[in-house]
Amino acid sequence: MLLDVNPIDAYKALYEGAFGTKNAFAETLVKATPLLLVGIGICISFRAGVINIGGEGQMVIGALMGTALALQIPDAPAEVIIPLSLVVGFIGGAVWGALAGALKAYFNVNEILSTVMLNQIAIYTMNYLLNNTLIDPAQAQLASRIPQTARLSRAADLPRLWMPTRLHLGVVIAVVLAILVYILLWRTTLGYRIRAVGKSPRASRYAGINVKRYVVLSLLLSGGFAGLAGITQVLGVSHRMITDGSASGFTGSAGFNGIVAALFGKLHPIGAIPASILFGALLVGANQLQRTTQVPSAFVTTLNGIVLLFVVGSEIWTRRRARRRVAVVSSEPTPPARQTAVEAEPAK
Amino acid sequence: MIGDLFTASVLIGIAGSGIRLATPYLYAALGETFGQRSGVFNLGVEGVMLMGAFSAYWATYESGNNLLIGILVALFVGVLMGLLTAFINVTLKAEQGISGIGIFMFGLGLSELLYQIAFKGERIPIKAFSRINIPLLSDIPVVGEIFFRQNLLVYVAFALVPVAWFVINRTTFGLKIRAVGQNPEAADAMGINVTRIRYATVTLGGMLAAVAGASLSIAQLNVFQQNMTAGQGFIAVALVYFGSWRPFGVMAGALLFSTVNALQLWVRTRGIDIPAEYASMAPYLLTILALVFASRRVDQPAALGKVFERGG
Amino acid sequence: MNKRLLLSLILVVVLAVPVFSVSAQDDEPFKVAVVMPSTVNDLAFSQSMYDSLLAVQEEMGGEEAFQFVYSENMFVIDDAATAIRDYASQGYNLVIAHGSQYGSSLQEIAPDFPDTAFAWGTTVDTFVDQGIDNIFAYEARAEEGGYVNGVIAAMLSESGTIGVVGPIETGDAKLYVDGFKAGVLSVNPDADVLVNYIQSFSDLSLAAAAAETMLDEGADVLTGTAQMVPGAIGKAQEAGALWFGTQADQTSLAPDVVVANQVYDWTVVLDEMIAKIQEGQMGGEAFAITLENGGELITFNEDYELPEDVLAAAEDAIDQIASGAITFSVDEEGMLNVEMGEPMMEGTAEATEAAS
C-alpha cells in the first residue's frame, strides 16, 4: 500500500491511454513514427554487423540541419520546403553516422565508443546553435532567452492526416521507407552485400566486397534514417527546435528506443512496424497512467523496464518454438554476428 | 590568460580532480570488462550504478552514517542486479542490447521510486567518505597532492586495476573467462561451465557498478538524486572499448576522459573566452581523437554479445 | 507477439498489486493540472510549484474547493505537449506549463481549448499579440534575490573570489546568475566572480567538480542554480565555503555553510490567476513573483550568525528593490542592467562602506 491508486484503474489507464480513443491511438502512432524511422536504420547497421547507438545524436544533427534550411526559405511553398528539409535532415544524420563509420573503417575506432561520444558532441552543438546562431530573434532580446528557433513557416508543417489528432504524414513516410528498406536489404545486391558483411567480414572480403566501404555505408544510411526521424519530429510535431540542455528533451530517447523496436522486430524492417507501435503504445500509455493515477513517474519508468526485460527474456520460448519449426532457415533472420572489428583476428 | 592556466597549483588541481572524476568510470568499466571478456555485453551499467548509489546512500543514512554498511549494502544490491542481468542474458538468452536498456530503465525508475518511498521527498545529506592523506606519501610535493589526498574509494578503484589484470591474465578463473569469451563451444567441450563463469563475471560486474554508484552518492557527493549518474554508465561501457578490454587500457581511458573534463571546467571557470558548449565537447572529442592517433590491436572477445546454446 | 504482450501484462499486474490501494472520489472544485520538467521533490524549480499548489489548496479550504494533478519529469518536450492537451480536453480550469521549454506547445494547443485557461512559466510572453487570449504568463524575477544574495556574498567573502555554478545559460538561471554578479560587484567592484555553466541540469558530479575548481581558485563563497547544485553544495560544506541557495530553501543540505536562500513562492501568482479565471478572464496577462509582492523570500539560515552590518545591508538591498529604488532591465543583447534610483544611492554606499 505504498501508492494510493486502484490497480484496475491503472491498467485501464495504460491501455486507454494507448489505444482507448481515436486521439490516444493517434498519439501512439505519432510516438511510433520516430521509433520506426530510427529502427529501420538500425536494421541496416546491425545487419551489417555495426552497432549504431548514436541515434540520439544523429536525430539531433539531422533535425538541426533540416531546421536551419527550413528557416532559410520561409517563403517557399510546402512542395519545396518539406521535401528539401527532409532530405537535408537525412543528410545531416547521414553525415553524423558516416563519421562513426569512417572512424571504424579507417581508424579502427569502435563504433560503440564513437557513437556514444558523438551523441554528446551533438548535444553541445545543438545547445550552442540554439543559443546563438539559430536562436529565435524574439528570444534573443529577452533576459530569459529560451534556447529555441523561431517557429517554422506553416508551409513546412507536415500535413495532418486524421483531424483533429496530431497524426501527421511522417507515419506514412516511415512505413513506406520500412518497405523500401526491406526491398533494399533482401532484393538488391547492395542489401545482400550489407548482410554478407554482417555475417562474415572475412568471407565477404574474400568474395571481393570492399568491407570498409560497406561499414561506412551502413552507418551512413542508419544515421540518415535517424536524421530523418529528427527532422520529421520538427516538421510534424514541434514545428521548431528547442533544447532543455539534453538530447532526450527533444528526441524523447527515440534514438535508443528505436534500437529496442528494431530488435523486437527481429531486425526486420517490416517487423519493426508492429514493434514500434507496441513500444510507442507503452510510452504513451505510461504517461497516461501517470496522469490518471498520479503514481510517480519513477514507477512508470520501472514498469517499462520490467515489461521490456520480461518481453526480451521471454524470447527464449519463441526461439524454442521456432527451432522446432525446422523448415524455416533462410528467411528467419537470426541476429548477425557481432563481429564489430573490421580487421578482426582471433586473439590469443 | 592562457598562461594563467598552467601554474603548478592549477595543474595539480586539474590532475587531482581528474582522478576523482575517473573513479566511478573506473569501477563501472572494470566490472563491464569482466562481463565482456566472458562474452556478455551489458548496456545496463547505468541502471545498476543508480541502484548502487541509492542503496549505499540509504543504508548509510539508516545505519547512523556507517559508510561501511553503505558499501556492503551497495555490494549486495549489486549482486542482486548482477544476478538479474545474468539470468536474463545468460539463462533466458535475451538479446543483450535490449536487455541492457531494460536494466537501465528498471534501475533508473526503481532507485528513484525507493528513494521517494524511503525519504518522502526529504533531502538529507549524509557524511561522506572524507579525504585520507596517506602519511608521508601525501607530503611529497605535487605527486602527494595529486595522488595521496583522495577518499578511500578512489584508492580502492585504482588498486583494483592491477588486481583485475592479474585475475584476468594470471589465474585459472581468468583463463576460463577468456576461454568462454573467445569460444564458448570449445570451453564447454573442455568441461568449463560457461553459464557459471558468465554468472560469476556479470555478478562481479554488477557489484563493481554498484560501488561505482556508491562512489558518487557517499564519497564524491553526499546525497542521492534521481538520475544522478547522468549517463556515466554509458560512457563507462564505451571506455571498455577504448581500453581494448584490458584493465590498464580502461584506466588510461577513464583518466584521459576525466582529466580533460576537469581541464575544460577549469578553462571555463577562469573565464577564458571559448563558448561553454565547445569546452564541454572536449573530453568526448579527445577520447575519439586519442583512438584515431593511437594505433592499437583490436582483440574483442569473439563471442561478445552472442548467445551460447549448448549443443546447438 | 500477442502472447508475449499478454504475459507481460500479467506479470506487471502481479508485481504491482501490493503497491496499490483504492483511492477516493471527488466533487466539483477548482481543478488545476500542472506539467513540470523535474520531480515534485527536486528542491528546486518543480518543487517550488508543487509546494505552492499545496499551499493554495490549504488556503482555499482543502480538496473540496481545490484539486490539482501533476505530470512530473516531463523533460521530453513532446510528452509534455501531449499531457497539456490531454488535461485541457478533460476540462481542467487551469493548465499550467511549468517550464519555459513548453511555451511553443501551448501556443499550438491553447487556441483549440478556448474555455480552458493556460499558464506558462517562466516568461513574460502570453501570445496575446498573436490573438491568443487564454494564456497567462508568469515568471520569477530571479535577479532580485540573486542581487541580494550577491550583496551578502561580497560582504562575507574574504578572498574576493566567488564561484557560481549554473546549468545552461537560459531562463531564471541566467537571471539569477546575472543578478548575483551585479549584487557582488555593487559591493566590491574588484571581486572575481567565476561563473561556470556546466551544460547540464542533472550531472551532480560535474557540478561538484566545477565547485572544486572554484574552491581551488580561492573562492570562499559559492552559489548555483538548478537541480544539480546539491553536488556543489556538498563541496562547499566539505571545504567550509559559504553557500547561497535559490529556488528553494537548501539549508538542510549544508546546515553549516548555507547563509541565505531565495525561495520561490508562487501562491501570489496562483491566487491572482485563479481570481481572474473565476471572473471569466482566461489569460492575456503576465505575472511575476518579486521581493515586493512576497513571491520571492530571502530566508536566512538561523544557525549561521550573520554579522549585524551584513544583515542590515541585505535588508537594505531587499527594501530598495521592493520599493523600486533599484530596478533591473535587460538590453537588446540580453545583458542585465541595474539602475539605482537617486534617493537610495546612499543605502548602497553605506553597504559598501560596511563591507570594507
Q: What is the pLDDT, as a whole number, of residue A15? A: 79
Helices (H), B6-95: 8-37, 45-62, 67-86
Using CA atoms, how far residue B216 sits from B39, B236, B261, B264, in Å, is 28, 14, 16, 20
**CB burial of residue C131 (10 Å; 0-12, 13-18, 19+):** exposed
- DSSP letter (8 states) at residue A144: T
Q: What is the pLDDT of residues B176-215, one digit of tens each?
A: 999 999 999 999 999 999 999 999 999 999 999 999 999 9
Q: Which amino acid, one-letter code, is at B218?
A: I
pLDDT band at A288 (very low <50, low <70, confident <90, very high): confident
Crossing angle for the helix pair A272-293 and C77-89, nearest 10 degrees?
Answer: 60
> Which residues in chain C have their CB less than 8 angstroms from residue A23's CB?
89
Residue A336 has pLDDT above 50, yes or no: no
CA distance A314 to A192: 30
CA distance A58 to C254: 41
Most A CBs within 10 Å, among C2, C101, C132, C329, to test the A interface: C101
Q: What is the pLDDT, as a whole number, of residue B147? A: 82
CA distance A133 to B83: 49
Residue contact C209–B9, C-beta within 8 A: no
- The set of cell numbers assigned to A289 is 497512467
Rg, C-alpha atoms of chain B: 20
Q: List beta partners, residue C33.
A: C69, C95
CA distance C34 to C94: 8
Residue contact C227–B225, C-beta within 8 A: yes
Q: Within a 10 A sphere around the Cβ of B152, how many other Cβ atoms?
A: 15
Q: What is the pLDDT of residues C19-68, one digit of tens each?
A: 443 344 445 789 999 999 888 877 788 999 999 999 999 999 888 899 99
Residue B295 has pLDDT above 80, yes or no: no
Using CA atoms, how far residue C326 sits from A320, B166, C263, in Å, is 75, 67, 20
Which of A67-102 are b and which e, b meaning 16 or more Cβ less than 10 Å from the residue's Cβ? bbbbbeeeebeeeebbebbbbbbbbbbbbbbbbbbb
Q: Do C283 and C136 contact (CB within 8 A), yes or no?
A: yes
Q: What is the pLDDT, as a whole number, of residue C9? A: 52
Q: Which amino acid, one-letter code, is at C211?
A: A
Q: Do B49 and B229 contact (CB within 8 A), yes or no?
A: yes
Q: Within a 10 A sphere around the Cβ of A200, how many other Cβ atoms?
A: 17
Residue contact C15–A306, C-beta within 8 A: yes
User: Where do we find the cell 605527486?
Assistant: B143
Q: What is the pLDDT of residues A186-208, one digit of tens each?
A: 999 999 999 999 888 889 999 88
> Which residues in chain C have their CB less than 8 angstroms from residue A5's CB?
20-21, 23
> Which residues in chain A have their CB less than 8 angstroms from residue B300's CB?
110, 340-341, 344, 347
Which chains does C contact via 3+ CB–CB distances below 8 A? A, B
> Which residues in chain C have their CB less than 8 angstroms from residue A122's CB?
none
Q: What is the pLDDT, as a whole number, of residue C271? A: 94
CA distance B136 to C57: 61
Q: What is the pLDDT, as a whole number, of residue C10? A: 56
Q: What is the pLDDT of residues C261-291, one digit of tens each?
A: 999 999 999 999 999 999 999 999 999 999 9
CA atoms within 13 A on the CB side of B230: 21
Tell which wins on pLDDT, B119 or A66. A66
Is 0.85 topped by the overall pTM? yes
CB-nearest partner of B102 from A117, A309, A338:
A309
- The set of cell numbers assigned to A129 is 546553435
Tell which wins on pLDDT, A127 or A293. A127
Q: What is the pLDDT, as a whole number, of residue A317? A: 65
CA distance B165 to B262: 27
Residue B157 φ then ψ, to 5°: -60, -45
* A163 vs C: CB within 8 A: no
* B221 vs A: CB within 8 A: no
> Which residues in chain A have their CB less than 8 angstroms from residue B304's CB?
338
Q: Do C196 and C166 contact (CB within 8 A), yes or no?
A: yes
pLDDT band at A103 (very low <50, low <70, confident <90, very high): very high
Using CA atoms, how far residue A80 sits from A155, A161, A199, A255, in Å, is 9, 19, 41, 27
- The set of cell numbers assigned to C239 is 571545504
Q: What is the C-alpha end-to-end distance of chain A, expressed in Å? A: 55
pLDDT band at A348 (very low <50, low <70, confident <90, very high): very low
Q: Within a 10 A sphere around the Cβ of B306, how many other Cβ atoms?
A: 19
* C196 vs B: CB within 8 A: yes
> Which residues in chain A have their CB less than 8 angstroms from residue C81's CB?
237-238
Q: Is the peptide bond before C122 cis (omega within 30 degrees of 0)?
A: yes
Most B CBs within 10 Å, among C49, C212, C215, to test the B interface: C212
* C83 vs A: CB within 8 A: yes
Q: Residue range B141-150: average pLDDT?
A: 82
CA distance A69 to A347: 48
Q: Residue range A255-278: average pLDDT?
A: 90
Q: What is the pLDDT, as a whole number, of residue C322? A: 93
- DSSP letter (8 states) at residue B190: T
Q: What is the pLDDT, as a whole number, of residue B3? A: 56
Closest chain B C-alpha to C278 CA, distance in angstroms: 33
Q: Within a 10 A sphere around the Cβ of B307, how many other Cβ atoms?
A: 20
CA distance A161 to A22: 12
Q: What is the mean pLDDT of each run of 10 residues along chain C (356 residues)?
A: 54 48 55 91 87 93 90 89 90 92 88 93 84 92 95 96 92 91 95 92 90 92 92 92 93 92 94 93 92 93 92 94 89 79 48 42
Tell which wins on pLDDT, A55 or B273. A55
Residue contact A303–B109, C-beta within 8 A: yes
- Nearest residue on chain B to C216, judged by CA atoms? B13
Q: What is the pLDDT, as a whole number, of residue C183? A: 95
Which chains does A contact via 3+ CB–CB distances below 8 A? B, C
User: Where do we find the cell 536504420?
Assistant: A41
CA distance C6 to A19: 15
Instruction: Please state whether beta strands B149-151 and C135-140 pair in parallel, antiparallel, or not at all (unpaired).
Output: unpaired
User: Where do we find the cell 564447454?
Assistant: B188
* A232 vs C: CB within 8 A: no
Q: Do A40 and A194 contact (CB within 8 A), yes or no?
A: no
Q: What is the pLDDT, as a whole number, of residue C130? A: 86
Residue contact B228–C208, C-beta within 8 A: no
How many A/B residue pairs have CB atoms within 8 Å?
170
Q: Within a 10 A sphere around the Cβ of C353, how many other Cβ atoms?
A: 11
Residue A152 φ then ψ, to 5°: -70, 160
* A309 vs B: CB within 8 A: yes
Q: What is the pLDDT of residues B81-98, one digit of tens each?
A: 999 999 999 999 887 877
Q: What is the pLDDT, as a whole number, of residue A174? A: 97
